[in-house]
Structure 1
Amino acid sequence: VIDRCKSVLCFHLGMTSDFIYDYGNPGERLATPQEFTRILNEIHHEFVKDNGKIQYKHNWEEGDFIISDNCAVAHEASPETQTSRSQVGLRVLHRTTVHNPIPPAKTL
């Protein structure tokens, strides 16, 4: 049997505090502030390049209901989600966390 899954990273670009090079090896070290910023910028660039081609963008309509797996879907809030309630109406989001003992992986 061939294992066709590859490990994936699940993290929030705005809440990541550091990256570690050569983890668990004698040369292990934290990224410098410049390396840290470069890595975050490169990841974000991959997400938004080609006008966000790899992103799912939803045009919300009243009554819409979406379930998504935050660990499997790269996403970010669009600017209009930060607009005042008086301009765009009330937006209610509920978050539920489900524990899965199997680590997330990308199936090839």
Structure 2
Amino acid sequence: MLAEALPIYPGDRVAFVGAGGKTTAAWRLMAELSGLAPVLFTTTTQILEPQLEPGLALLLTGERGDPLKRLPGLLGQARRVVAARRRRGDPLPPGLLRDEERVP
């Protein structure tokens, strides 16, 4: 397991950098760690919109109100939350999120 190879504890922040494999590694780690504690995932790159499944929630900024206020409740329900900004109409393929639309 990837989580066993890395000294990660609840409350830690993890960053993946470099060429290739970052999203795959981050998703794998998120799946492994979500059994121990709720996990929040965000990225500074374009990603395909995740397919929602049990235990996974999508938190989109740009919705009414302050969507970050929903984060604690989502983490309590879903254990894995992907935070991103809703994709605006643009020439990108469907399901992609733009770099400048990421959640900081």
For normalisation by structure 2, the TM-score amounts to: 0.25
For normalisation by structure 1, the TM-score amounts to: 0.24
